[in-house]
Structure 1
């Protein structure tokens, strides 16, 4: 990890069938996994720290090997069977809508990026997040890494927004 960046409030949410549903998303646990990980990660923050997360100083990065495969498989099988496909499946077939939901919920208006890599997804996510911070695009990044077993979320901060970073590094 870059010496000028800090990781805080890391949580891992294991995949499980009873994750709470996300309104507007159906047929796949992907969105529920993302929202649950974010809620647990940012839920650790004190109210004054949550205020720092809002605005354009915070970005969101979602990294996975293959994205929402359950939705892709559902759409694919319905196409093969020539069945009518729910319009909801089109908007959730890419991860951007669930990230927009997270951004709206927490007032995040900075850059939103999605990354899909065949291997070493955690390392690649960290490198891209460090680049976002290092280039001055944002002061901090809410990083989400989604895998077959669950999702990990953490806040990576550093570089330009020194005051903002200090607020997020304070222990809850």
Structure 2
């Protein structure tokens, strides 16, 4: 007897997680790392920092030829709004166009920088969604890991305060105020997960189609990256428990 019911994919295992905030007033806000060619905005430095933490925690021993077995997916509802607003204000004021601002306003720019810094030569994607960002990123990772040439997928999300123009765009696209409403325009936060198929060293697993579970959390607002923060916190607690048990 045969059936047309699809075979479910195995869950995703979390190898590493990281979060970072800047200018939010939280006690754990960080100083932004300096990135050559990136100025004014917290977007790219925050994306870089959470990626760095994840990859440093679980290096894969890539050769000098590059890490071709890791893919990266970056999600941001409106991208680098700080840079986009700065470029617009300069244009309206009649100031000379700064090509650097055009370059860094594109999320793909920091992905290119990360590929050089970390030796990643696998696929790299940026996406924007009004749906739950965590769900979208897990679905992307789930699909990418069907490729036998890939071992891991680094997923990350970034949000900025954005300022009044970004808030107006958000209200037009969604309902209510943006996730970081009330914070300075250059305030921001980012979270990242390094994902693989389950195995040794993956104390937390999640299915791409089951992110409404309270243990992982869901986006508090359309396009929010809160789900990434919730899952990163779950992984951090599980890792602490594993390390405590190992030392007993």
What TM-score do the two structures reach when normalised by structure 1? 0.82
1:123, 1:4 → 2: CA distance? 13
**Over alpha carbons, which structure has the higher Rg?**
2
Number of residues of Structure 1 aligned to a counterpart in Structure 2: 163
Segment drifting more, 31-40 vs 12-21: 12-21
Give 1:82 deviation, angstroms.
Answer: 1.7
Q: Tell me the equivalent position of 1:6.
A: 13
Q: Tell me the equivalent position of 2:193.
A: 154
Pick from 37, 42, 45 the counterpart of residue 58 of structure 2. Answer: 45
Structure (1 or 2) with the greater helix fraction: 1
1:114, 1:39 → 2: CA distance? 17
What TM-score do the two structures reach when normalised by structure 2? 0.59
Give RMSD over aligned pairs. 2.6
1:141, 1:26 → 2: CA distance? 28
Contact preservation (8 Å) 2:48, 2:110: yes
Higher RCO, Cα 8 Å, sep 6+: 1
Residue 20 of structure 1 aligns to a residue whose secondary structure is coil
Note the residue ranges of structure 1 that are not aligned, 5 or more in a row.
Answer: 159-164
Pick from 116, 131, 135 the counterpart of residue 104 of structure 1. Answer: 116
Q: Tell me the equivalent position of 2:76.
A: 64
Q: Tell me the equivalent position of 1:27.
A: 40
Q: Tell me the equivalent position of 1:162.
A: none
Note the residue ranges of structure 2 that are not aligned, 5 or more in a row.
Answer: 1-8, 24-29, 161-187, 204-238, 244-248
1:19, 1:34 → 2: CA distance? 10
Cα deviation digits, residues 127-156 of structure 1 (max 9, x gap)? 112111124463211111112441111111
